Amino acid sequence: MPKDRAHLYVHALEESYNNVVWHDFSNQSLIEVYVSNQHKNLNEATLRQEVIFLLESHHLACPDILSIEKIEEKDWVTITQEIMQPVEIGKFYIHSPKHEKNKDKINILLEPGMAFGSGTHPTTKGCLQAMSALKASPKRILDMGCGSGILSVSAAKLFQTSVTAIDNDIFAVSATKTNAEINNVADKIAEQHGDGYKALCEKDAFDLVLCNILAKPLTEMAPFLKKHLAPGGYAILSGLLDTQADEVITAHKNCDLNLLTKVDIETWLTLVFNHA
């Protein structure tokens, strides 16, 4: 497909599939989606229909070439660990168990193969950069849609305080728990399986809210963010393309939240708001 439209397809596919990667070649791009053999619609014909329907719901045409093939089972965790390279982002250094620590950075150990976020996606990078640049010392932190827990772990280590980590996917909650343990911050992170802000108590308020999801839920959740963001608190939001910025920004401004800055990485945006 045309290289300049690949990011639109990746964004759409990531709504339903955790493992989406793409490769650029001159003016074309190849997108690969890896589906677990536990996926409910493993049948090839059904999978094809599912992908086409997902793309159409985003007003995207089916690519000229759409192929589905079965990959032989391998030890993907070991393979991923062998090819995963350390990443330096702001004050953080993300690495696998096979790499040595960086004494000049806050080290984040991430087990390969746990899905939901490895630190290499532009939205995760944007959140970590924004967190590194934050001129505040939050004491109460919420990671809404915690995924792998990389933001929860990073926040707990950077600010040396407790983090509430919520996700509606039980596997994400489990991944967060594991990553908190291997990074020695299990005592600082409270993982919780729940439906967004509904999982919180009425009066819960946080000094910092981290939320790396998608543009539509960010927009819909803006009033709930305002409700649970303490006066003077900050929100770092990501998961949106630069073309979606206006709707997300407007939704939060309508809730009297002030846009402080944007982090722009490869057409993906991270937004920092505060509750004055």
Q: Is the dihedral of CA 240, 170, 200, 109 positive or negative?
A: negative
C-alpha to C-alpha distance for 163 and 211, rounded to whole angstroms: 13
Please report the pLDDT score of residue 79 as a whole number.
Answer: 45
Encoded tokens for 269: 């945006």
Distance CA 33, CA 10 (A): 9
**pLDDT, tens only, 119-129:** 678 899 999 99
Give, in order, the Cα–Cα distances in Å from 100 to each of 63, 70, 86, 119, 178. 42, 35, 9, 17, 20
pLDDT of residue 18: 65
The pLDDT of residue 36: 67
CA 221, 227, 228, 231 torsion: positive or negative?
A: positive
Enumerate the domain spans of the chain. Answer: 3-57, 116-274
With contact defined as beta carbons under 8 Å apart, do 162 and 187 qualify? no
- pLDDT digits 0-9 by tens, 55-87: 888 888 888 788 877 766 655 445 445 446 788
Tokens of 183: 């990074």
Residue 81's Cβ-side half-sphere holds a number of Cα atoms within 13 Å equal to 13
pLDDT of res. 62: 85
Radius of gyration from C-alpha coordinates of the chain: 19
Please say whether the beta carbons of 74 and 82 come within 8 A. no
* Residue 116, pLDDT score: 46
Supply the pLDDT for residue 30: 80
Within 10 Å of residue 232's Cβ, how many Cβ atoms?
11
Q: Please state the pTM of the whole predicted model.
A: 0.75
For domain 116-274, the question of CATH label 3.20.20.70 is answered with no
Nearest-angstrom CA–CA distance, 127 and 131:
6
**150: closest CA among 194, 193, 107, 187?**
107
Run means of pLDDT, 10 residues per run, the chain, 276 residues: 76 76 72 68 76 86 80 54 73 88 93 56 93 96 94 97 94 90 97 95 96 92 97 96 93 97 93 94
Whole-number pLDDT of residue 129: 97
The type of residue at 161 is T
Give the CA distances from residue 208 to residues 73, 104, 214, in Å, rounded to whole numbers and listed in that order. 41, 25, 19
Residue 10: the pLDDT is: 80
13: which residues sit within 8 A by CB, 6+ positions away? 20, 31, 33, 51, 54, 55
35 DSSP assignment: -
> What distance lies between CA 195 and its chain's CA centroid?
17
Give residues with Cβ within 8 angstroms of 14, minimum separation 6.
Answer: 20, 214
